[in-house]
Chain A
């Protein structure tokens, strides 16, 4: 049972444009959501997170939107840069204090073309 799902295995965007990565979840107990970026041969690095008490969180070029009623979150990258090309993982946990058990999606390969 895939509780966190990223339906798009890949996404290709032109440099300077907006990248939108999507994530759906099924477990209504999930309360805290994170996005990680992963380059080949490296471990995932934390990008941005959001708690369920918010519907939006911004950090520079990265914004995460949360729609709890639809059990959907998205990551917006504006403007996209070639260095953003990586695999992006969405992750969720029941509570921010619940410990390290994050449930990850399968990842979306983002390619930003110059």
Chain B
């Protein structure tokens, strides 16, 4: 069974631009979550989608948004990029509302 797939693996953008990251969950998994990892900050929860609905949202500005498609694939978008948005963005999936999360390898975003 294929794991969680995130694309692209690396991304370089400049301030003010916007970016879209993609995540394909494990087959059969309906819940997709996004986390941001920065050095010294651990993993910060961004949002969670289940059956195309946002079920939970972390404390991030409205520049961070996401969506989930009917096939459970998810995208997150960051508009008007700031230098502080440079981070590893991790996607995770699970079957439903419980159980452990399975993480992808992440998208490393650098904002110059």
Q: Give residues in A with beta carbon < 8 Å to B.
A: 4, 34, 36, 41-46, 49, 89, 91, 96-107
Known: A99-B48, A106-B42. A44 touches B56 (CB 8 A): no
Q: Which residue of chain B has the shortest Cβ distance to A105 in the bound complex?
A: B42
Q: Do residues B100 and A49 form an inter-chain contact, with CB atoms below 8 A? A: yes
Q: Which 6 A-B pairs have the closest CB atoms?
A: A43-B103, A100-B33, A104-B43, A106-B42, A97-B98, A104-B42
Tell me if B's interface is mostly helix, strand, loop or mixed. Answer: strand
Residues in A with CB closer than 8 Å to B48 are 99-101
Q: List 11 additional A-B contacts (Cβ < 8 Å) besides A102-B101, A104-B43.
A: A44-B43, A89-B43, A96-B98, A99-B50, A99-B97, A100-B56, A101-B33, A101-B45, A101-B48, A101-B56, A104-B35
Contact of A34 among B35, B42, B98, B100 (CB under 8 A): B100
Q: Give residues in B with beta carbon < 8 Å to A.
A: 4, 31, 33, 35, 40-45, 48, 50, 55-56, 58, 90, 92, 94, 97-98, 100-106
Number of A-B contacts (CB under 8 A): 63
